Amino acid sequence: MVDWLLLIALGFLGSFGHCAGMCGPLAVAFSLSSSQLTRFHLLLNLGRIISYALVGGFLGILSSFFVASGHLLGIGSAFRQFMAIFTGLILIWLGLTQVKPNWLPSLPLVHPLEQGWHKVLSSQMIALSFKGSRWTPLLLGVIWGLIPCGFLYTAQLKAILTGSFWLGGLTMLCFGLGTTPMMIGIGISAAKLSNDQRSQLFRLGGWVTLAIGILTLLRTDGMFDYTGHGALFLLMLALIARPVRGFWSAPLRFRRALGVGSFVLALAHTAHMLDHSLNWNLEAIAFMLGSHRWGIKAGILALLLLVPAALTSFDSAQTALGKYWRQIHLLSVPALILAIIHTILLGSHYLGALQLTNGHHLRVVLVVLQGIIVLVMRSGWLRRQNEKFPQ
């Protein structure tokens, strides 16, 4: 229920800034009387919501096939946990770009693909707009609901996680209903709002997107190992972004996003541990093994070292801080070392297990080796090998 209310709120707030620009040209493209205009918008938005619901149902049933295809894809499986983490991060990314468009780049892969699809559907809408059928507005709405945009991805990602045709359709239906007041009243409401007011409402919708993404990360049980490993992996990738730029440029391009993503997953990991392992009973730490307590301390210090870098991962902060900006972000190196110590001492797949096997010791060796490789790559040796590849 909370998720559906958030989606309605997201659709309503975001429609003032994002959808108004798309619906406006459709409204003025037809020379209609007042009564015809009302009917046009009602049918247009009915078609759009039908399209949203059908797409949501399709996404829900598609994900249900993955779940039903094998025992390992059931509830609580690694696949479901990974999808929840991935979806939560994408939603947080979309929310941040909605709140502050210049903070993060457009989503890779999705952004170039959506342009071609957008062009095809737009041309179909233009061709259909010349038809004189009474159902033309409804068909226009159906096509319009298929046009891709970052704002729409938020609800679609939530629909994927439902694993059900009906719940997926209901998810998209709630989102569509939220956008409806603005879409129907585009000729009246939008005219009474300035561009700045619409922009503020759209950015407020971005905060709702952030809330949905954070809830997605926090609502899945038993994910502290997944979020912890994810945070460690993204941090390592961000730290080696410059040394590997000669043969792999993508990490350097998205280095700030990787760093912020690592911090977000670290926060989610901390919240999961407090909720599922400690049940918010901090006094229980005193009764833990000494190595486990040291692991907790290392994790807390690692998280604290990441805070300044995460809060200054945008251009204006870099300009304002000058030479100190790099020094702040170099705190990520000791944060990595502390995070590895935390992982080894407290991780259930490492020395944090109650009964140790050769597999646990092997994983300790592997994670230490990964950390050493990252530190060696940052030491300057590999950088000197790549001097012929400028940034």
Q: Is residue 27 part of a domain?
A: yes
**323 shares its domain with 258:** yes
**98 shares its domain with 127:** yes
**Contact criterion met (CB below 8 Å) for 187 and 27:** yes
Residue 371: its pLDDT value, please? 93
From 201, 218, 235, the end of a domain falls on: 218
CA atoms of 256 and 235, how far apart (whole Å): 10
Closest-CA residue to 167 (of 58, 308, 35):
58
How many domains does the chain divide into? Answer: 2
**232 shares its domain with 185:** no
Residue 71: its pLDDT value, please? 41
**174 shares its domain with 311:** no
CA atoms of 296 and 344, how far apart (whole Å): 11
Residue 281: its pLDDT value, please? 82
**164 shares its domain with 230:** no
pLDDT greater at residue 259 or residue 38: 259
**230 shares its domain with 201:** no
pLDDT of 322 higher than 90? no
Exposed, middle or buried: residue 30 (CB in 10 Å: 0-12, 13-18, 19+)? Answer: middle
Q: pTM value?
A: 0.56
Burial letters 328-350, b for 16+ CB under 10 A, else e: bbebbeebbbbbbbbbbbbbebb
pLDDT digits (tens, 9 = 90+) for 130-161: 666 778 888 888 887 887 666 677 778 778 87
Q: Is residue 390 part of a domain?
A: no
pLDDT digits (tens, 9 = 90+) for 13-53: 666 555 555 555 454 444 344 456 677 778 888 888 999 99
Q: Is residue 54 part of a domain?
A: yes
Parent domain of 162: 2-218
**83 shares its domain with 11:** yes
User: CA angle at residue 328 from 325 to 330, to 5 degrees?
Assistant: 110
From 164, 199, 218, the end of a domain falls on: 218
From 198, 218, 238, the end of a domain falls on: 218
Q: Which residues contact 197 (CB under 8 A, 6 or more apart)?
A: 16
Using the 8-state DSSP alphabet, how is residue 322 labeled? T
Residue 141: its pLDDT value, please? 83
**233 shares its domain with 143:** no
The three-state secondary structure class of 347 is coil
pLDDT of 191 higher than 60? no
**158 shares its domain with 239:** no
